[in-house]
Amino acid sequence: MAFLKKIKRENERNKVCEIGLWSYSRHPNYFGEWMVWNSLVIMAIPSWLELRRSEPMIFWILLAMGLLFVPYIMYSSLVHLTGAKPAEYYSLQKRPEYKRYTERVNMFFPGAPKRQ
C-alpha cells in the first residue's frame, strides 16, 4: 500500500497546480508580495504629507518620487529578475503541460482565465 502511495506522489510531483489562486494567476505569491510593498508605500503617505511642513520642498518632492519608484522596482524584480520569469523558465523544462497553462492563465496580475 505504501508503495502505491509513493508512485502516486511521484506522478503528481511535476504536475501543474491549477486550483485556487493559481487558476487566476501563475504567480499569486509574487503578486501578494508586490501588494505588501504597495501597502507599505500607502502607509507611508501620511508621514510623507506631514513632512511637507517641516522639510524643504525639494526634499519632499524627491521623497515622493522615491515612494512612487518602490512599486516599480519591486514589480521589476519580482517579475523579471528573481521571481516569475526565472520560475517560468524552469517550469517549462520540468512540466510539459505548463505551456498550455501559460496560454490560459495570466502571469502576474490575477484575472479570469483566458478562453482558448
Residues 31-48: tens digit of each pLDDT: 999 999 999 999 999 999
CA distances from 68 to 71, 72, 82, 87 (A): 6, 7, 21, 27
* Domain enclosing residue 43, as ranges: 18-104
- Mean pLDDT taken over the chain: 90
Does pLDDT of 7 surpass 60?
no
Is the residue at 79 inside a domain? yes
Does pLDDT of 30 surpass 60?
yes
CA distances from 48 to 54, 61, 85 (A): 11, 10, 34
Does pLDDT of 5 surpass 70?
no
Is the residue at 63 inside a domain? yes
Cα(41)–Cα(43) distance, rounded to whole angstroms? 5
pLDDT at 14: 78
Asked whether the beta carbons of 113 and 105 are under 8 A apart, the reply is: yes
Is the residue at 64 inside a domain? yes
pTM (global) more than 0.95:
no
Does pLDDT of 99 surpass 80?
yes
Is the residue at 111 inside a domain? no
Query: What are the cell numbers at 39?
Result: 501597502
As for how many domains the chain has, the answer is: 1
pLDDT at 66: 94
* pLDDT range class, residue 114, cuts 50, 70, 90: confident
Is the residue at 48 inside a domain? yes
Cα(105)–Cα(100) distance, rounded to whole angstroms? 9
